Structure 1
Amino acid sequence: MRTVPLAALVDRADLGLTVLVGEDALDRPVCWAHVSELVDPVPYLLGQELLLTAGVTLPDDLDAYVSGLVGRGVSALGFGVTPVHNAVPTDLVDACRAQGLPLVAVPPGTPFLAVSQAVGTALAEAQNAELRLLADSQRAMTRAAVRPGPVDGTLAALADALDCWALLLDADGEVLARTGGAPTPSDDLRALADRVGAGRGPRSAGTRVDGDHVVLTPVEHIGRRPSVLVIGRARSLSVADRAVVAVALALLALLRQDPDPAARLAARLVFGGDPADLLERLVGDSSFQVVAGAGEEHYERLAETLGTPLVDVLAEGFRAVVAAGSVTAPDLVVGVSAPATAAELPAAEREAAALLRRARATGRSTWAEEGTGIATLVDPASAQRFACRLLAPLAEQRSPSAGELVETARAWLAQHGNWDRSAAALGVHRNSVRHRMAHVERALGLDLSSAQHRTDLWCAINWLPPGWPVPEQSE
């Protein structure tokens, strides 16, 4: 249950509350302000309320009245001055002081409704503060996780968000990473971490180290024993704080895995929340492209050159996610996918990898938007073999020549089979176009009324190597 400290109400000048008892207990949690004029309101209370009363039916036995409130767990009593009582009864003040129940006087100009609204406002502000804490810390940790030294960076961001120190211990109790202020783990702390990580005891544990509240939680890893995250600070963790820790655990679990390259890139895109939201915060756009490159490159250089922190450097090359239209890296030979949404990034990564193969063959970067569209996704050598094999029957043609047949077919296909437009493009009579295309169909054994055959012919024509046809050498 979300609560706010009693001090959040007492400190509001517009309410004018006066603390009569319990000035040293203003950290008491208040879940709501409840008004009751019953002689015995206890059956209708849940605990942690600020109970408001004007003393309309104040009982004679005030000690018993206060004792019932204390037993129910009421956080404080607010007494409204006038119209029933011109001052808070002295006996009530004495009873609250004797039993340790904070007592505040509500002045005549402050309606009980104003106090209730103030509690609601304070609760809403506390909720918003928790949401901001979670959002800001998630953003900081995910940014750290995609930069050099991701484990150390994630721990540092966690420590900054929660004002705590942090340690990451491996299965043997050795320190993998630590933040400033973190103590050297004692034998007792290592033993407790061993129990948490081994699963022989609780899945999380708490202790105290040099006066700090310390929490130990396992960081799960697939196929091997968990490491253990240890965090400590002067005050205990709230529900919102634990949500921040949960984000850190998810990040550390991903960062400590060793997945294949595609899985690693995908993991770095989705950890911490919705991929689109994460990408827009890191890259600053809602449309993205994947850049694939080969060779040994350093992360820092690539991140600076490509203008993105989302770079995954591997032994065989790199992959990066950039804002659409921002790739300007003339000194790199890369494959660049078409613009994609966050959900389309896995397909874009495969497209960029295919384009990279073509870029390496030609020695220049290849964009998905260039050339013949999806045709650029095919390996150049395989494409040329397919073209030469399909068009081989035309290679020995003399009248019309192979070149005339290929160019006629190119124009006819480009004009969607329109005879007149094809003839105009070639500068010949439409009957010549018909004659040549009939020759192509017979020689290649194709039915050009078939969409598949037209597609095969179009791709083959565009994949032909320079100088084709080349006469075969005699053996």
Structure 2
Amino acid sequence: MTITIRELLNNPHLKSSVIAGNDGLDREVTWAHACELSDPTHWLTGGELIMTNGFAIPSSEEEQIVYLQKLIDSNASGLAIGKGLHAPKLSDGFKSLADQKAFPILNTDYDVPWIAFSKTVANAYVNQEHAQVILTMRLYDKLRKTINHDSPNQILRRLNEIIGCKLYIIDAKNKWILFEQEKDLNIEELAYIKSNELPYYIKHIKTKDKLIAQVSIPSSRPTILLVISNAGSLPDNVVLRHLATIIGIIVEKDMTILEKQRRIGAELLIRMVEGNVTDEAASILLNDHGLGKKTLQIVACSGREEKFNYEWLHYWLHDTGIPNLITLHQGILLILLPEKCNILSKLQTESPNQTRIGVSDSINRLNRTSKAYQEAIWALQSAETHGRKVVFYSESFPVSPFIPRDRTDAEMLMKDVLGDLLDYDRQNNSELVKTLYVYLYYNRSWKASAKSLNIHKQTLVYRVNRIEVITGYRLNNISHISELWMALQTALMLKMIPDFAEAITM
């Protein structure tokens, strides 16, 4: 720490006493500056002890108060006046202002040269600077020795020992603790964390029994370092900045590893749901992700109107130690994770309002993964149809009671009714399936359907005639209409046709 006014007073060689401002004796002094200017504030940076033989002090009370107020406003630490030299009598108003603002006014014996003050302060500053350099070197040396083989939590424990304070890395947005640190941080302490628009800042907080420094960490992931001391002091801001830089390196390394694991895991999950990996290979690779020999399930999430940002979920699963594979597949977020993991409440509270969630049955054999994927998609479609936040495949909430719950039966139903029409579209690059969907959606209204499809009415009439010829279904027959509509809903559920939402909202 830098030297204080009190410590200067306690130095017998400086032969000084207090005239006023006793409550400010713990002010830190960054420099001792002799000055006889009537307004020295243009040359001050804060923390200086101004030393004068009295030439600078005005004689009138009003001018003395103005002079003192300028020193106070410049964040000077105090004023030392040579005893028995050229200073006028100090007015009561001058001393009263010093007491009120806790601004120390010292009286120094004539035989003490001002250079003695300057040397004392300079020596204290050099010692402090030397201590800062040594401490900073120890921090970087510890990082160098541990970064390649120790976990973030192990490195933090070692940094704790060097600093003599507790260190916590906090997710800036969600205010949860990163890595596997001790979860003994009080909610009260977390409540002090405030978002700050500045890219880099240090904020000091004092509670009843602790000193807390909140330091932004320079990293791609928004994180905050909390440095908590129970011993009455915190490291200097210079050390805190270096410490935050070291923590930033730790966070960046962890994010690099995490992103690599996510990409590898995403590729594996896609291969599993598409059936492009053997069970034996999948078992070995799942074991690398902490998912080996576990009963698993697939969670599917989507939002029609809001893009699903899953970065926070990826971080949260990692920070809470839940093994997972996660990826976006055809606009739907897929998560493979151990069964009965408590993530659904988090998903519901943190996801956008329009997000819907479907959960598969258990995966107790890896060759069931593709089917579990379809179950999750099926449950997701049911959630969207019924306006529910979460639907489990095991629940009795099908999209329609007339659509089979089994995928094989559903595919057979869809192909029996729409197979020829789908083949025709593929071969001729036409849009008859889309036309059928829109036409039925608008209750066979020629005007509304033509407008939505952006085609002429006669073009629509021609397309409807072709649909009837190809499918063998009449679109003025209620039983035929019902079968076609159920087949379309089944095809949507199975992701065998695109979602025509854009066409019906034009």
TM-score by length of 2: 0.41
Normalized against structure 1, the TM-score is what? 0.43
